[in-house]
A and B are shown apart, each in its own frame.
Chain A
Amino acid sequence: DQQVKQNSPSLSVQEGRISILNCDYTNSMFDYFLWYKKYPAEGPTFLISISSIKDKNEDGRFTVFLNKSAKHLSLHIVPSQPGDSAVYFCAASRGTGGGADGLTFGKGTHLIIQP
């Protein structure tokens, strides 16, 4: 049961260009979304998040867009840098448990930044 879907297993982008990673979800109860970045042999690192009451959140080179009606979110990285090469996970929370809720993750997208 894939409640959070990342349909692109990998994405290759040239250094300096924009990287766009996509995520779709099916559970209408999700109301908070997070992006994590993961290097091999490390744990996921929190990157940026967005509440369902917003449609955009920006932090430096990273911007997350949420289209609630389409149940779709995307992460934009601009400009892309070699250090951005990693696996990116989209995660969602129901936000109703006051901290009890576990995150539901997508399968991840492996972003490769080419020089």
Chain B
Amino acid sequence: EPEVTQTPSHQVTQMGQEVILRCVPISNHLYFYWYRQILGQKVEFLVSFYNNEISEKSEIFDDQFSVERPDGSNFTLKIRSTKLEDSAMYFCATLLSGQSYEQYFGPGTRLTVT
């Protein structure tokens, strides 16, 4: 069964450094998302992406964050200058089409900012 994959599974970085989290969506899915879950809290929507541009973003998704799909395969989330509070699990999700609602999630990347 096709699945969303994410790399790395765990990333440790120092405060102020840039990180790039990678996701390979399910091949025929058209919509891509990033979510995060801070330890002990709920899963929060960050951004949605369709047709090579951002469709919607939450207030969490500020100028420190950016997304792109540089090679038509990987979907990436970049955090320009990490802060301690960026430590969280980051989940990529994909959706088949605009007529469906069932988003499929990857296993997540645990980001630890020290």
Is the A/B pair a real complex? Answer: yes
The complex places the Cα of A44 from the Cα of B106 at a distance, in Å, of 8
Interface size class of A (residues with CB under 8 A): 20 to 34
Q: Are A46 and B104 in contact (CB under 8 A)?
A: yes
Q: Are A102 and B42 in contact (CB under 8 A)?
A: no
The complex places the Cα of A45 from the Cα of B105 at a distance, in Å, of 7
Q: Are A43 and B4 in contact (CB under 8 A)?
A: yes
B interface residues, tally (CB under 8 Å):
32
Q: Which of B12-20, B63-71, B93-101 contacts A (4 or more CB under 8 A)?
A: B93-101
> A105 near B: Cβ within 8 Å?
yes
The contact string, 1 if C-beta is below 8 Å from chain B, for chain A 82-104, is: 00000001010101011111111
Kindly provide the distance from the CB of B64 to the nearest chain A CB, expressed in whole angstroms. 18
- Taking CB as reference atom, which chain A residue is nearest B47? A102
Q: Which A residues from 43 to 57 make CB contacts under 8 A with B? A: 43-46, 49
Q: Which residues of B contact A45 (CB under 8 A)?
A: 105
The complex places the Cα of A46 from the Cα of B58 at a distance, in Å, of 22
How many contacts between A and B, using CB within 8 angstroms?
Answer: 72
Given contact pairs A100-B55, A104-B45, A44 touches B97 in the complex (Cβ within 8 A): no
Kindly provide the distance from the CB of B103 to the nearest chain A CB, expressed in whole angstroms. 6
Q: Which residues of A contact B4 (CB under 8 A)?
A: 43
The complex places the Cα of A106 from the Cα of B37 at a distance, in Å, of 12
Q: Which residues of A contact B48 (CB under 8 A)?
A: 97, 99-102
Q: Are B101 and A44 in contact (CB under 8 A)?
A: no
Interface residues of A (CB under 8 A from B): 32, 34, 36, 41-46, 49, 89, 91, 93, 95, 97-108
Other CB < 8 Å A-B pairs besides A89-B42, A89-B43, A100-B48, 7 of them? A43-B108, A46-B102, A102-B48, A103-B35, A103-B103, A106-B42, A107-B41
